[in-house]
Structure 1
Amino acid sequence: MDYNIEANMQFPLVTYNLLPNETVRIQSGAMVYHTGDTQLKGRLNANGGSGIGKLLRAAGRAMVSGESVFITEVSAGAQGGDLALAPAVPGTIQALEVTPGRNYYLNDSAFLAMDGTVQYSMERQSVGRAILGGQGGLFVMKTSGEGTLLVAAFGSIKEIDLQDAHDFTIDNAHVVAWETSLTYDIHLEGGGLIGSIGTGEGVVNTFNGTGKVLVQSLNLENFANMLKPFMPQPSSN
């Protein structure tokens, strides 16, 4: 599928040049513009099934993962058409090639678009990971199929290629996506709650093995906390 990440923009758009009847699935609300007889349809964000059962699966998936109940399917008409997307936060967009031998776990809000046969499902995490991590609570997003996956980050993206890594630790809020070939452990930095408070780092993600990790330069939670003093406070009355 023909797409272009507009690298000359400070906060880039993605533009697709869709051939006749081509289809791409995008994050709900990500569309900036489209042309021609391109059509957008909201689909329930669940694999397989139909009717009320599919609705319940989509709603349950949204509750445990923080995803939208819907995903947007964009289809070009007989003449083809153009489509532009933008992520919800200012930052960077990066393409990842998904194949049967290379799949990814995605952090919350990382997904932007996918083509081909790429899809994602929810994989259950351990209770410890769910309590500490922000990656979907009890579940984490995992890709499958073949095609191009677009991910979005807050700030810039750095790609780290780990080779037989041992205990490579990244602040959990900076992790965007990582290959499923890596093992990972979410825990508190500094040896526990007191140590974590002392270092100011909080929850971290430690990777082992061989594979790719994408990290973002900015931390959305820290940014939100910086804005709190400037936000209107609710009345105590």
Structure 2
Amino acid sequence: MRLLVVEDDAGLATGIGFYMEREGYEVIHAGTLRDAAKKLEEECPDVVLLDLNLPDGDGLDFCRNVRKTSQVPVIMLTARDMETDEVQGLLCGADDYLTKPFSLAVLKARLDTVMRRSRAGNCMDPEEEAQETADRENQPELVGGGIRLLTGKMKVYCDGKEVDCSVTEYRLLQYLMENCGQVMLKEQILAHVWDNSGSFVDENTLQVAIRRLRRKLNDDGAQPGHIRTVRGMGYIFTG
């Protein structure tokens, strides 16, 4: 796996690089956003660790720009530890958010989790892609409340218009639609969509993902939408 570390602290970047290379990652370093943009295009990393405070700009803006053209997983690393900062980071398209100081072992676990989630979206060689397509052709589609999810093609339509969903958003919607009419506990959703090993990401990540998904499905906050919150329990897809 190729890891792009966008961090202007040379000591921290070196420490992360040494540890992650020992864990089997190929590590690429960028100390500025300009360098990061260049290496993102040239090196095609599998995952990005992104500091927010860089000499030539804000990592939030960089993440927004990345999301316009790419779904490469992004984990934000930052000293900003306010809940509003984390929410802002996730809304910008980050897959996870880790505050400094942090354990390298925890970072490795977060990276592994994000990579498991994005594996379905990774590029395949032509033979693998053809086989994947053949395997999915006969899989059913899920339909409810004007939403149509094609399980064989990882596509989502709302009222006939295609919705641009990330891999995580797709998996979240699919899980809720497969259990239409049932209240899915937060713990169940976290285990299924994020981490089957039991090392859950922060619950706030789920709330932000639900918010982003609702927005893409045109759920009006003033009216009951496709995905409803069951206070103190979890969420239900009502169709």
- The normalised TM-score by structure 1 is 0.26
- The normalised TM-score by structure 2 is 0.26
The answer to which structure has the higher helix fraction is 2
The answer to which structure has the higher strand fraction is 1
